[in-house]
Amino acid sequence: MHRMANRMTLLAGIVVLIAAAAIMWAVSARPQSGAQAVREIYTRPAPPPPVGRMRVFHLGHSLVGRDMPAMLAQLAGAGHRYESQLGWGTSLKHHWEPGEEIAGFADENDHPRFRPAREAVASGDYDAVILTEMVEIRDAIKHHQSGRYLARWAALARDANRETRVYLYETWHRLDDAEGWLTRLDRDLDRYWKGTLLAADITRNAPARPVYLIPAGQVMARFVREVEAQRSSGAVRSRDDLFQRREDGSTDPIHLGDMGAYLVTLTHYAVLYQKSPVGLPRQLRRADGTPAQAPDAATAELMQRIVWEVVTYLPETGVRG
């Protein structure tokens, strides 16, 4: 009896071990989570940019605007070329679907740099395609299927030219956001930009080369914290100084002024060209040729240094210091 009981106990133990092994195998065989896939693919840096200057397509809305791409061309130097398609608060979905109305289309694209987006991205003409989602980002994800349409635009660009780099321009939200402007910038990076948008392209397209991040929101947060903590006496003393002023003197809570445009332009330059922006010119012109308000030398140096630190810190940019 004792011998039979021991055998039964042994058999039961073997069954338990087999079941545990089966569970472990099943878990290990499951597809990676979006977060895991994002982390792993960005352990590899982006390939170096093409020799010489780039041709870039900007897709988006007023947080791209006309001035920032024009300023980027000035920083990059002769040979940098660009086109764009813009709207008013336009989502990636509305840019993609032919039946969707793009608010402000006639006004925003009445300039020599306009090119129809589907034609442009499908042409394979570009070294870089920069995608910009509408604001508010959580509404875009909830109501406009941001992940799906980011993946579609990325696939279109890659199918046209496997050497084309695709970028996601991380923007921001209103200064008067109830959750807190800096709080949102801190939290949204993981929960929306990386956890939803970048992950959607990776899981849907399984690309050899992912969509890279242009972390303008993270740069703005880092810069604002430093300026406001130091109580700067320079051209930018608070977050409000990055944004436009209305006719009554109040702050536009979402659209950048010249100071903010310069900071975001530096961020684009650092990611696209994989070069430190430290030492770049600070006196630039707007798209219409008029002189933009220039930061003082100390503020420009601080902006340039912070941009490079943030860009080389985040692996999703593809840039290594």
Mean per-residue pLDDT of the chain: 90
What are 180-195's pLDDT values in tens digits? 999 999 999 999 999 9
The answer to the question of residue 15 being in a domain is no
The answer to the question of residue 143 being in a domain is yes
The answer to the question of residue 25 being in a domain is no
- The answer, yes or no, to whether residue 31 has pLDDT greater than 90, is no
The answer to the question of residue 180 being in a domain is yes
> What's the total number of domains in the chain?
1
The answer to the question of residue 165 being in a domain is yes
Beta carbons within 8 Å of 109's beta carbon, 6+ residues apart = 84, 85, 86
Beta carbons within 8 Å of 247's beta carbon, 6+ residues apart = none
Kind and range of the H or E element at 2? helix 2-29
pLDDT of residue 7: 52
> Once rounded to an integer, what is the mean pLDDT over residues 16-23?
40
pLDDT of residue 126: 98
The percent of residues above 70 in pLDDT, for the chain, comes to 89
CA torsion sign, 116 to 120 to 123 to 125? positive
> Once rounded to an integer, what is the mean pLDDT over residues 95-124?
96
> Once rounded to an integer, what is the mean pLDDT over residues 251-268?
98
Contact 129, 153 (CB under 8 A): yes
CA neighbor of 129 nearest in space, from 40, 232, 211 = 211
For residue 238, the 8-state DSSP code is: S
The answer to the question of residue 129 being in a domain is yes
Give the torsion through C-alpha atoms of 272, 69, 175, 137, to 10 deg.
-60
The domain of 125 spans 34-317
The answer to the question of residue 26 being in a domain is no
CATH number at residue 161: 3.40.50.1110
Confidence of residue 232 (pLDDT cuts 50, 70, 90): confident
What are 272-301's pLDDT values in tens digits? 999 999 999 999 999 999 999 999 999 999
